[in-house]
Structure 1
Amino acid sequence: MRTSLDLGLIGNGAVGALIDRQGEIVWCCLPRFDGDPMFCSLLKEHTNHDGFGYCGIELVEQIATEQQYLPNTAVLVTKLSDAHGAEVEVTDFAPRFRQFGRMFTPVMLVRRIRRLRGSPRIRLAVRPASDYGRERCPVTYGSHHVRYLSPGWVLRLTTDASITMLLEERPFFLEEEITLIFGADETIPTAIGDLARRFQDETVHYWHDWVRDLGIPFEWQDEVIRAAITLKLNTCDDTGAIIAAMTTSIPEAAHTVRNWDYRFCWLRDSYFVVNALNRLGATKSMERYLGYLTNISAGAPGGRLQPVYAINGAARLEERIVDTLSGYRGMGPVRVGNQAFEQVQHDVYGAAILAVTHVFFDRRLLRCGDRTLFHRLESLGETAVQVFDQPDAGLWELRGTARVHTFSSVMCWAACDRLALIAAKLGLGDRQGYWRDHADSIYTEIYRRGWNEEKQSFVASFDGDSLDASLLLLHDVGFLSADDPCFQSTVAAIERELKRGDYVYRYVEADDFGEPENAFIVCTFWYIHALAALGRHDEARALFENLLARRNHLGLLAEHIDPVTGEQWGNFVQTYSMVGLISSAIRLSKRWDAAF
C-alpha cells in the first residue's frame, strides 16, 4: 500500500505514469489519461508476492534507493542498491520527439534496467489489472513478448529479458541491461535495446529543446522548469486539453470522503493555465489549449457552460463508486467520473472568456480571433449577465448548498469587461459600449452586495459574512487595483480568518462534508500573489520558499497540504499547484537585467 505521494511522473502527451521510489509503476491509465488504470497499486493494496495491478522491480537484499530526473527532461532514473554493494539503474520514460515531420507520441512506456556495479539479483513482477482493479489481465506470450488482455485495451510488453523469468517472477542475475517496452499490440521489428536507447536519446533531445525555448525567471529556474515540464505532461496532445491531475480519489485529508476524479479539464483552471503558459512562452501548448477551450465555448448549447469536460470535450462524466479498489492507504471511496459536470458554476463564463481573450491580443498565435469568434463568445457574455446575481455551487463546487458567490459574480463581470476590450480591438464601437455598460452595472451590484462594511472586506457570498480565498484574486482579474483600500482590507481579513501558520485555507466554515482539514495549496500561492501586489515582497518570498520546501523529492506538488506535518494530500500531480508555483516565481524573481 502506498504510504506517501513521493512519486515521479513520466509521460508524453498521450500516456502518463506515476512511479515510486522503488521503481514500481503504481498508476498508469490506458489508452489515455482517463482510461482504465492497468497499473493501479496507488489505490490497491498488494505485497511483493500477491495481488495485481502493478509493475515492480525487486532487487534482492535491497538497502537503499535514489531517484531523480535527468536534468530538464521527463526521464526518470531510479537507482537501487543491495547489501553487497551491487547497484541497478532503472530509467523510465515515454517517447516524445519529432519524427517524419510530426511529433511522435505513442502510447508507450520504456523501462531500461541496467547493472551499474556488482552482481545484482532482481525479480520482475508485471501484473496489469483490468476494469479498475477487478481482475488480473489474462496473458498470452511469444518468444520476446507478453500480451495482457483487457476488454478495452491489449497491453503488449516487448522485452529482451527472459520470458520465463518474467512470467514466473523468478529472481535472476542482471548481467548488463534489459529493456521492457509497454505499448499497443504491435510487433517491434528491431533490436529492443537499440530501439530503447535511440528513443531515450531522441526524447532527451526533445525535452532539452523544449526547455531551451521557455521564458523563465532569473531565480528558481530549476523549480520552474520542473513545473513547466509537469504542466506539459498533464496536457493531452491530441485534443489540447489539460487535465487537473493524473489521478482519481487521492483524499484531500486522511479518512475523509473528499475523494474525486481529477482526470478531466476544468474551465475554472483555464485562465490561470493560459496565463502561466503565456508567461513561460510555451505558445504551442497555449495555442492547443486555447483551441480546446474555443471549441467548447463556441459549441456551448444556449451559451451555457458546465464546469468540467472530458479530454475529448464530451460533456457527460457520470460519477460512480468502484468497489474493486480500496483507495489510497485504504481510504476509499474510489470514484470514476465527476458529477460536478451537472453543477451550476457561474465563474466558468469569466474563466473561459478571460482565457480566450489571448486569441485576440497575442500576435504570436497563428490563428487570431475574429468577429465570428467574438460573436460566439457574446452568447457566453449574455449568460453571464443573466446569472451573475443568481445562486450557484461556486468555485469550490459545493454539492449541498447554493449561494450567490461573490467570486462567481466577479468572473461574470470579467466576462463582460473582456468582451468590451475585444470589441474595441475589433473596432466594434457599439458592442464595446454594450458590454462596458453591462460590466459597470455588475460592478456596482458586486460592491453593493459583496462588500461587508462590518468586516471591511469583500465576502464569499452576497449579503454574507464569511470569507473564501478566491477573494485574493480580485486584483489578479482586474476587479480591484492593488492600491485600492478595499483590496488591502480584504487581504487583511483573509489573513485573520483563513491563514493557518504559513498556509491559507480556501474556507474554514463547514461544508457538505464538514470542516476542511488541510490547506488547498494554490490558495497560498494566491496569497503570495496578493502580497507581491501589495509590495510585501519579503513576506511573499518567505512563504514561497516554504512551499517549495514542501514539494516531494522530485519537485512535484499535490492539491492539499497538512499545515502541521507538511504532508501532501489530494490528487497528484496537481496542475493548479504547479501553475501557482510558476506564476509566483515569475512575480517574485529578480529581473534578468537587474540580477547582476
Structure 2
Amino acid sequence: MLVDRTGAIVWGCVPRVDGDPVFCSLLNSSHRDAGIWRFELEGQVSSSQEYIRNTPILVTRLEAEDGSCVEVLDFCPRYENKGRMYRPVGIGRIVRPISGNPRIRVVLRPMNNYGASLADTTNGTNHIRYLVSGQTLRLSTDAPVGYILEQRTFRIEEDTHFFLGPDEPFMGNLREEIRRMEQATRKYWQQWVRGLATPVEWQDEVIRCAITLKLCQHEETGAIVAALTTSIPEAPHSERNWDYRYCWIRDSYYTVQALNRLGALDVLEKYLAYLRNIVDSAKGGQIQPLYSVMGESELNETTAAYLAGYRGMGPVRVGNAAYKQIQHDCYGQIVLPTVQAFIDRRLLRMADERDFESLEQVGEMAWAMHDQPDAGLWEFRTRQEVHTYSAVMSWAACDRLAMTAEWLGKEERAKLWRERADAVRAKIEAEAWVENGEEGGHYGASFESDYLDASLLQMVELRFLSPDNDRFQSTFAAVEEHLRRGDHMLRYAAEDDFGAPETAFNVCTFWLIEALHLAGRDAEARKLFCTMLSHTTQSGLLSEDLDYETGELWGNFPQTYSLVGVINCAGLLSKPWSEVR
C-alpha cells in the first residue's frame, strides 16, 4: 500500500503486489473519488507525517483552520501468531481526535480490473463487503457504516478503528483487537531493526531503506520485486512506462547483497529458497531476467485501458515483455548470493552437495554465454550486443564457483572453474578494451562498440578489478566525463529504443559515489551522497530516476536499486563505530 502526503491510500494491489490495483488513484488522478481510501477533515489546511521509529507504521496528522486535528495511524499486521507469521492481505487504520471538534468524511472506493469499475458492495451492521478481483474484502469498523456508504461528514469524538482485509469476522472486541495487532506489529519491526548492523552515520536513512526493502519481498515465496508500482514514467511523456512489480534476478541480487551487509539474513534465506525453485524449473537451461513473485515465467505485456496514467502520462502497462529477453548477467546474479549458503554457518539451511551440482548448471550457462550477445542489463528492446557487464558477471559466476569448490574440497572442480574464469577474463580484456591514443583508453559497454555505460563502475564491486588498477582508473575518468551531469549520473548517453535518456538513473549516481570513495575523493563523495539524500521523499525513500536539472523524482516507487544505493554508500562513507565508543 502507498499512502500520499494527506494520508490517502492511492495504490494497493490485491491479492499480491502484482495483482489488480484496487486502490489505483495514483494512476487515475482525473477521478478523485475512485480507487482511493482517504479521511477528509472538514476545513483541513495542513497535513504532516512521520513513521513510528524503526517501523513502517505511519502517522498522518491532519489539521483544520478552526484548530481541530486528527491523527491517522496506518499499519499492515505482521507478527508471529500460533507458530506462524500472521500477515494477512489487509490494512488497519486508527483515526484519533487530537484537538477541537473534528469532523471527517470517509471516502473508501476500491476498483476492479485496473480501474474498469467500482467494486460492488454489500453491508451488515458493522461491516461492508467489497467484491474486488474475484474475491471479497471486508471492512470491519466501529464507525457508523451508513456514514461511510453515503460518504457523509460526521464528528469523530473518540478513537475510531478500521480494518480492511479478508472476508472474516473479528472475534471479540474490534477496538481491542486492532490495537493489539498494531502493538504486536510495532514490536515485530522494532525487534527486527534491533538486529541490523547499521553504520554510525545516517542510521535513520539506512533503517528506513532496510525496512522498505524487506517490504518488497513476497513473504510466501521469497521473491523480491523491483518496485511496488507500474508505469510511473522515467521522464515526462517519455512512454518509458514499465511494470516493475516482478522479481528481477538482477535487482534482487543487489537487494540481498545490501541487506546481507546489515545482517538481515532472513531476507537472504527466503530469497535463496525462491532461487532454488527457479533453478529447478530451468532444468539446466536458460534463466529468464525476471519472474512473477510465484515464479511464473510468462508475464505478457498489455495496457490498462481504463487508467490514464501518472499525471495522465500513459500508457499503464501490465506485465513486462522483458521476460522474453536474453540477459546473460542473470547467471552470475544467481551464483553470487547462493555462494554464501555454502559458507555462512548462521543460516538455518546451509547448501549441500546437491545444491552445488545444481549451481554448477547455472555456471555452465554463464560459461557458455559469456561471449554471446544479449539485451544487457538496461534491457534494450531492439538490439543485442556482447555487453561487458554481462561478461563480467559470467566471469564472477565462474570465479565464485571456483572459490566454493575450493571451500568444499573439490579440487578438480575448482581447477575447472578457475580455468574458465581466467578464459573469460582474457576475453573481456581483449574484446572490451578500447584504445584511445594518448588518453590510454577505457572499457566499452560492449565488445562491439566504444560507448560507455555506468555499469562499468561495478567492475571493482564484482572483484574483477582493484580500485588502483590503471584500466579501472581510466575507465572511471571516461565514464565520469561522458555520463556525469552535475551531481548525478546517466546510465548511458547514447540513444536507445526511445531516444536519448532525459533523466539520471539514481543507482548509477550511487555507483558514482562509490567510485569517488574508491578514488580517494571522500569529501566529494560525501557531498554527493548528502545531495542524493536531500532528494528523498518525505518518507525517506527514492524512485528510480531523477531530473538532474530540477531534482524531481521520476520512475517507479519505491525502487529497490535506489534504496540499495543508500545503504551501500552509507556503509562506505560513515565513520567507524570505534570513533564513538
* TM-score (norm: length of structure 1): 0.95
Deviation at 1:153, TM superposition (A): 2.1
Cα deviation, residue 396, structure 1: 0.3
Number of residue pairs matched?
A: 578
Aligned to 2:472: 487
CA distance in 1, matches of 2:466, 2:134: 52
Partner of 1:580: 565
Q: Match of 1:88? A: 70
Q: Give the SS at the match of 1:515.
A: coil
Gaps of at least 5 residues in structure 1 are: 1-16
Question: CA–CA distance in 2 between the matches of 1:449 and 1:270?
Answer: 29
Change (3 A) 1:541 1:30: same
> Which runs of 5 or more structure 2 residues have no equivalent in the other structure?
none
Counterpart of 1:33 in structure 2: which amino acid?
A: V
Which residue in 1 is equivalent to 2:342? 360
Aligned to 1:28: 12
CA drift of 1:61 comes to 1.1
1:544 aligns with 2:544: no
Paired letter, 1:70: I
Alpha-carbon contact 2:467-2:473 (below 8 Å) kept: yes
What secondary structure is seen at the aligned counterpart in 2 of 1:155?
A: strand
SS in 1 for 2:461: coil
Q: Residue 249 of structure 1 contacts residue 571 of structure 1 at CA under 8 Å; is this kept in 2?
A: yes
| Aligned residue number for residue 197 of structure 1 | 179
Is the CA contact (8 Å cut-off) linking 2:20 and 2:133 kept in structure 1? no
After superposition, the C-alpha distances for 1:320-377 in whole angstroms (9 at most, x for unaligned) are 1111111000000000011111000010011111111111121211222222111111
Question: How many angstroms does 1:430 deviate by?
Answer: 0.7
TM-aligned CA deviation for residue 151 of structure 1:
4.1
Local SS of the residue matching 2:218: coil
Of the three residues 520, 540, 562, the one matched with 2:505 is: 520
Deviation at 1:46, TM superposition (A): 4.0
Q: Once the two structures are superposed, what CA deviation does each residue of 1:551-588 show, in whole Å capped at 9, x if it has no partner?
A: 01110110001111111111101111111111111111
The SS at the match of 1:73 is coil
Following superposition, the deviation at residue 47 of structure 1 comes to 5.2
| Corresponding position of 1:265 | 247
Following superposition, the deviation at residue 472 of structure 1 comes to 0.4
Equivalent AA in structure 2 for residue 36 of structure 1: D
Structure 2 contact 385–448 (Cα < 8 Å) conserved: no
SS of residue paired to 1:302: coil
User: Which 10-residue stretch deviates more, 160-169 or 264-273?
Assistant: 264-273
Structure 2 equivalent of residue 226 of structure 1: 208
Alignment of 1:226-375 (within 5 A): 226-375=208-357
CA distance in 1, matches of 2:214, 2:206: 12
| Deviation by residue 1:495-544 (Cα, 9 ceiling, x = unmatched) | 10000000011001110001111111000111111222222211111111
Q: Is the CA contact 1:270–1:352 (under 8 Å) kept in the aligned structure 2?
A: no
Q: Report sequence identity in percent.
A: 51
What letter matches 2:575 in structure 1?
Answer: K
Where does residue 10 of structure 1 map in the other structure? Answer: none
Q: CA deviation at 1:293?
A: 1.6
Matched residue, 2:431: 449
Match of 1:99 among 69, 81, 87: 81
Q: Which moved more, 1:108-117 or 1:524-533?
A: 524-533
Give distance in 2, aligned partners of 1:229 and 1:238. Answer: 17
Secondary structure in structure 1 of the residue aligned to 2:94 = strand
Residue 492 of structure 1 aligns with an amino acid whose one-letter code is: A
1:521 and 1:309 map into 2 onto residues whose CA distance is 23
Q: Which residue of 1 aligns with 2:389?
A: 407
Aligned-residue offset at 1:463: 3.5
Residue in structure 2 matching 1:163, options 136, 140, 145: 145
Residue in structure 2 matched with residue 504 of structure 1 by the alignment: 489
Q: Which moved more, 1:525-534 or 1:135-144?
A: 525-534
Report if the CA contact (8 A) 1:294-1:356 is conserved: no
Query: Which residue is 1:7 aligned to?
Result: none
CA displacement at 1:117 relative to structure 2: 0.5
**Separation (CA, whole Å) in 1 of partners of 2:30 and 2:108:** 13
Please state whether the residue corresponding to 1:148 is helix, strand or coil: strand
Amino acid at match of 1:588: L
Could you say what secondary structure the match of 1:126 adopts? strand
- AA at the equivalent of 2:2: L
Residue among 11, 21, 43 paired with 2:27: 43
Q: Give the superposition deviation at 1:276.
A: 1.0
Decide whether the 8 Å contact of 1:370 with 1:426 is kept in 2.
no
C-alpha distance in 2 between matches for 1:182 and 1:453: 62
Which deviates more from structure 2 when the two are superposed, residues 459-468 or residues 265-274? 265-274
Give 1:8's aligned residue.
none
Query: What is the one-letter code of the residue matched to 2:27?
Result: L
Aligned to 1:476: 461
Q: Please state how far the C-alpha of 1:232 moved relative to its aligned partner.
A: 1.0
SS of the aligned residue for 2:491 comes to: coil
Distance 1:20 1:267 in 2: 30
Q: Does residue 398 of structure 2 align to residue 398 of structure 1?
A: no
Three-state SS of the structure 1 residue aligned to 2:270 is: helix
CA distance in 2, matches of 1:372, 1:135: 50
Partner SS state of residue 303, structure 1: coil
Whether the aligned pair in 1 keeps the contact of 2:110 and 2:132 (CA below 8 Å) is no
SS at match of 2:50: strand
Structure 2 distance, partners of 1:77, 1:240, is 28
1:194, CA displacement in angstroms? 1.3
Partners of 2:253 and 2:25 lie apart in 1 by 34
| Residue 450 of structure 1, CA deviation | 0.3
Native 8 Å contact 1:30 1:153 kept in 2: no
2:407 alignment partner in structure 1: 425
Which amino acid letter does the alignment assign opposite residue 447 of structure 1? E
TM-score normalised by length of structure 2: 0.98
Aligned position for 1:9 = none
**Any conservation in 2 of the 1:298–1:373 contact (CA below 8 Å)?**
no
Measure, in 2, the Cα distance between the counterparts of 1:584 and 1:126.
Answer: 41
Q: Are positions 1:177 and 2:159 aligned together?
A: yes
Q: How far did residue 44 of structure 1 move?
A: 0.6
Q: Matched residues in 1 for 2:380 and 2:265: separation?
A: 34
Alignment counterpart, residue 461 of structure 1, candidates 412, 424, 446:
446
Query: What one-letter code is carried by the residue in structure 1 that aligns with 2:89?
Result: V
Query: What secondary structure is seen at the aligned counterpart in 2 of 1:442?
Result: helix
Question: For the Cα contact (< 8 Å) 1:452–1:463, is it kept in 2?
Answer: no
C-alpha separation in 2, matches of 1:511 and 1:482: 30
Contact 2:25 2:31 in 1 (8 A): no
AA aligned to 1:460 is: A
User: Of the candidates 168, 184, 188, which is equivalent to residue 170 of structure 2?
Assistant: 188
Change (3 A) 1:47 1:259: closer
Which residue number corresponds to residue 188 of structure 2?
Answer: 206
Tell me, yes or no, if the aligned pair for 2:256 and 2:267 is still in contact at 8 Å: no
